[in-house]
């Protein structure tokens, strides 16, 4: 069974990223609307969100021209989710990955949508939520909307093994948000639409969502913390409900 409607505009592209030393594919869905960049979960690839029908769940919004969707690879299998890679190297590779998104993916998407100043929405589930949140909080001038589903937002202590360094600090939202200055707080408060959603069922970690929410409130940054029920598990059927619900009803830029 196809994972997307046969009439859905869909194209594959990609390039060799010199900074990563990897071929990095990207898939695009749609023809118009606000650009939305999706990160995969865990160690998955750029087509994961299609295979698990997350794209199908938002097809009505794509067909309606409200969103134009892009999905990219993760490098977690070469970084935090590879036990053979020490924390300092995982942090370095994560920093390079974020540069790839900011300096390669964003310009590509801007060319595709025909707007050199377009700001993107970002989303993802689980580890994808971490990457999506890190993107918006690192570069709010590039990203305007965050939908973070069932995520965590602090790599410490589980992944870092006590390592502390700039590559970790500047790519770990809970670390750097705590030290934002007034100008950065005002930029995020004024120009970003932030949605943090989590369940309370099997394998969910609502305390991680609350940790980020509490930190944002200490900075006076309005956001939407949406804690779903105890029957809501860390799994695709719920993410296929969460994402279209938030995109359709709550995102002010979409």
Give the separation between CA 243 and CA 248, rounded to whole angstroms: 8
Q: Name beta bridge partners: 226.
A: 197
Residue 80: its H or E element: none
Give the percent of the chain with pLDDT over 90: 97
Hey, how many other C-beta atoms are within 10 angstroms of the C-beta on 69? 26
CA distances (Å), origin 103, targets 100, 139, 225: 5, 11, 30
| Average pLDDT over every residue of 191-202 | 98
pLDDT tens for residues 134-144? 999 999 999 99
Whether CATH 3.40.50.1820 fits 10-249: yes
- Burial class of residue 236 in the structure, from the number of CB atoms within 10 Å of its CB (0-12 exposed, 13-18 middle, 19+ buried): middle
Residue 28: its H or E element: strand 22-29
What φ, ψ does residue 128 adopt, rounded to 5°? -65, -30
Residue 118: its H or E element: none
195: DSSP letter: E
Instruction: Give me the chain's average pLDDT, please.
Output: 96
Res 1: pLDDT: 56
| Average pLDDT over every residue of 216-239 | 98
pLDDT tens for residues 127-169? 999 999 999 999 999 999 999 999 999 999 889 988 989 999 9
Query: 210: number of CA atoms within 13 Å, CB side?
Result: 8
| Average pLDDT over every residue of 82-104 | 97
- Residue 226: closest CA among 192, 198, 203, 194: 198
Query: Where in the chain are the domains?
Result: 10-249
Contact of 126 with 81, CB cutoff 8 Å: no
| Average pLDDT over every residue of 176-201 | 97
CA distances (Å), origin 74, targets 109, 130, 187, 191, 234: 17, 11, 28, 27, 19
- Residue 30: closest CA among 69, 56, 2: 69
């Amino acid at each position: 069974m196809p994972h997307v409607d046969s009439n859905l505009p869909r194209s594959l592209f990609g390039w060799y990223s010199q900074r990563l030393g990897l071929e990095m594919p990207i898939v695009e869905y749609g023809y118009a609307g606000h650009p939305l960049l999706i990160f995969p979960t865990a160690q998955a690839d750029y087509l994961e969100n299609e295979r698990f029908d997350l794209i199908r769940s938002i097809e009505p919004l794509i067909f309606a021209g409200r969103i134009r969707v892009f999905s990219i690879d993760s490098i977690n299998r070469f970084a935090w989710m590879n036990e053979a890679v020490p924390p300092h190297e995982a942090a370095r590779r994560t920093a390079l990955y974020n540069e790839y998104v900011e300096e390669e993916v964003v310009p590509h998407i801007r060319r595709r949508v025909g707007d050199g100043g377009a700001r993107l929405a970002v989303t993802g589930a689980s580890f994808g939520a971490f990457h999506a949140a890190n993107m918006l909080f690192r570069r709010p001038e590039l990203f305007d909307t965050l939908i973070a589903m069932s995520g965590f937002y602090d790599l410490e202590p589980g992944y870092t093994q006590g390592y502390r360094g700039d590559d970790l600090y500047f790519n770990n939202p809970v670390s750097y948000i705590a030290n934002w200055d007034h100008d950065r707080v005002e930029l995020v408060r004024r120009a970003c639409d932030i949605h943090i959603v989590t369940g309370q069922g099997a394998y969910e970690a609502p305390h991680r969502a609350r940790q980020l929410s509490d930190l944002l409130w200490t900075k006076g940054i309005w956001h939407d913390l949406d804690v779903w029920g105890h029957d809501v598990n860390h799994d695709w059927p719920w993410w296929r409900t969460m994402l279209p619900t938030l995109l359709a009803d709550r995102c002010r830029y979409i």
